[in-house]
Structure 1
Amino acid sequence: METSCRLGGARALFSRTMSPLAVRLLLLVCLVLPLYGVEKVRNRGYRKDPDADKVRERQDDHFYGSCLQGPGGTPGRDGNPGANGIPGTPGIPGRDGLKGEKGECVNEIFEKPWRPNYKQCAWNSLNYGIDLGKIADCTFTKLRSDSALRVLFSGSLRLKCKSACCQRWYFTFNGAECTGPLPVESIIYLDQGSPELNSTINIHRTSSVEGLCEGVKAGLVDVAVWVGTCADYPRGDASTGWNSVSRIIIEELPK
């Protein structure tokens, strides 16, 4: 009988002439060595791997510890505005832009500043006793058509009559009364004299006729003072400029 046993990659042959005890020991060694190799391989296969344990734990948690996801909640409200942040650093200055096209030349018209323009004509003791007609005139150069004329006559006026009477003193501009907006005038009305003394009232008072007239064109303007009657009243005995200075003042005013 020939028995063979593989140990460590070497082959040993034994003859049939070996003693029975040696044969038994050899068989025992051949049986024990394979079992020891299998146990070593088994222990090697059960060596713990940390990464594998972590993967296994995650799988277990997912399988046993997870819950079903419920419906989404109501969206929350916006929070209060936050405080202003720290100002940023200044940016890089920009570059100059492209040069623009040359503009058109426009001639601007500037109005000349307003210059005072006035005139005065004066007389010493006119002593005009007429009841109807022109008393005095004064020529004025008006610079602009869109301006107004302020006129003033100052002098002594008187009206005398035995019964009710009325006289009217007024301005004309180039022979026509003012229409912008109304005539420039003054009146004196006298009811009657004094029956007890059988005489009439005879009072001379310094009075004035003054006003503004618009709508008079530029150029030479003949400004005159006239005396006439009042509507629906008889005329009396009028007197202008007695024993005193009389004057006409004309002034051009911007509108």
Structure 2
Amino acid sequence: MGSLARVLLFTWLILPLLGAESGKKRTARQRDEEFMERHNDICIRGSPGVPGREGNPGTNGIPGTPGIPGRDGTKGEKGECMQERLEEPWRINYKQCAWKALNYGIDLGKIAECTFTKMRTDSALRVLFIGSLRLKCKSACCQRWYFTFNGAECNGPLPIEAIVYLDQGSPEFNSTINIHRTSSVEGLCEGINAGLVDISIWVGLCSNGYAQGDASTGWNSVSRMIIEEMPK
């Protein structure tokens, strides 16, 4: 067989194989294109879904290691020493008793009384009686006006009193001096417990044996007693 005959025979055998291979390639490409077209039609973006619920809190992590200790700061200035007093604020507490015209002519005994509510034990009572006082006699005499607290005179620290002393009358006119003057009896008393306190003004004798005179309290005028609780 000649050379030309061999070439023709080889060509006739190989061409069908090349065509088949080319056909296989086209068929695979076509399948890929058809697959992409189908999926492009199917993969359309849908609407967003409902948000999910929050998850349960996680457990605490492992404690960290201690940090490096800090350095001491600079020393501050010395402050002022102040003592804090955890007490209730002071409230004003007072009372007034008044009489239009006592016209009380007794020489010995209680003249008037006023009841007061004391709020605290660690406080003092300021008392004031103001009214007309008179004493008369033909010879030297002395009378004493004083306060009592629940029936006893003040001993914190001393009694609260005032006196009127008259030396003599007027012998040339055979009469006695009869002067009524507005006067006051005032002071502070400590050591009285909290609660109701009966505060009274009395008239009595002076000390040192002076004679009793003719006393009068609250003549023809207003008399008043003022009581005030005060901090110590």
TM-score, normalised by the number of residues in structure 1: 0.58
- Which residue in 1 is equivalent to 2:51? none
Question: SS at the partner of 2:179?
Answer: coil
Deviations 1:103-150 (A, max 9, x none): xxxxx9821110100000000010000000000010000011110000
- Structure number with greater Rg is 1
What is the aligned counterpart of 1:219 among 195, 202, 219?
195
State how far apart, in whole Å, the 2-side matches of 1:162 and 1:197 are. Answer: 11
Q: Give the C-alpha shift of residue 96 in structure 1.
A: 8.1
Runs of 5+ consecutive residues of structure 1 not aligned to the other structure: 1-94, 98-107
Runs of 4+ off more than 4 Å: none
SS at match of 2:102: coil
Equivalent position of 2:36 in the other structure: none
Could you tell me the TM-score, scaled by structure 2's length?
Answer: 0.63
CA deviation vs aligned residue, 1:8-61 (integer Å, no higher than 9, x gap): xxxxxxxxxxxxxxxxxxxxxxxxxxxxxxxxxxxxxxxxxxxxxxxxxxxxxx
Query: Once the two structures are aligned, what percentage of the paired residues are identical?
Result: 81
Distance in 1 between residues matched to 2:69 and 2:191, nearest whole Å:
56
Larger RCO: 1 or 2 (CA < 8 Å, sep 6+): 2
Q: Distance in 1 between matches of 2:107 and 2:69?
A: 84
The runs of 5 or more residues in structure 2 that have no matched partner are 1-67, 71-83
Aligned length: 152
Aligned partners of 2:205 and 2:116: how far apart in 1? 27
Q: Does 1:244 align with 2:206?
A: no
Pairwise mapping of residues 1-255 of structure 1 onto structure 2 (< 5 A)? 110-231=86-207, 232-255=209-232
Shift of 1:186: 0.1
Amino acid at match of 1:209: V
Q: 1:139 & 1:239 partners in 2: Cα distance? A: 23
Per the alignment, in what secondary structure is the counterpart of residue 192 of structure 1? Answer: coil
The code of the aligned residue for 1:251 comes to E
Task: Supply the distance in 2 between the matched residues of 1:118 and 1:129 (Cα, whole angstroms).
Answer: 29
